[in-house]
């Protein structure tokens, strides 16, 4: 049997973190949560993870900045990073793609589709 897939979700909204936590842990994923890009970077420096799911608009370090920093280092260069955002502009999507995001999901999210995407990018 596969070992449990570990996910880090990065979102500044406590309500959104609770929704994500429920949607993912109920499907058997091991979920850690960070409230902005800075906290995520600190956590990722010390912990292993299989997939990162990040919001874009966050204080301190936003989603674009987080993706860029992760892609610059060796440890998380190839880590799947899914962007989960209310942003629907093509320009922002292109920017995320250029920064090195693996995928783009517009909120409100559908738990089944989110879980399917996590399974796809983590295998």
Which residues contribute to the site for another protein (CB under 8 A)? 13-16, 18-19, 22-23, 57, 59, 82, 85-87, 93, 97, 101-114, 116-117, 120-121
CA gap 95, 78 in Å, rounded: 18
What minimum distance in Å lies between the beta carbon of 106 and another protein? 7
Q: Minimum Å distance from CB 45 to another protein?
A: 25
Least distance between another protein and beta carbon 30 (Å): 19
Nearer to another protein, 44 or 82 (CB): 82
Q: How far is CA 16 from CA 13, 66, 79, 93, 98, in A?
A: 5, 18, 22, 20, 25
Strand partners for 84 = 105
């Amino acid at each position: 049997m596969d070992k449990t897939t570990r996910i880090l979700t990065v979102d500044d909204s406590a309500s959104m973190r609770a929704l994500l936590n429920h949607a993912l842990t109920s499907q058997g994923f091991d979920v850690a949560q960070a409230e902005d890009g800075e906290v995520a970077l600190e956590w990722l420096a010390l912990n292993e993870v299989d997939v990162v799911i990040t919001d874009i608009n966050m204080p301190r370090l936003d989603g674009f900045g987080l993706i860029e920093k992760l892609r610059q280092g060796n440890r998380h260069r190839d880590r799947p990073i899914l962007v989960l955002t209310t942003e629907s502009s093509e320009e922002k999507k292109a920017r995320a793609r250029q920064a090195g995001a693996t995928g783009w999901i517009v909120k409100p999210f559908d738990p089944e589709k989110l879980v399917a995407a996590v399974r796809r990018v983590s295998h």
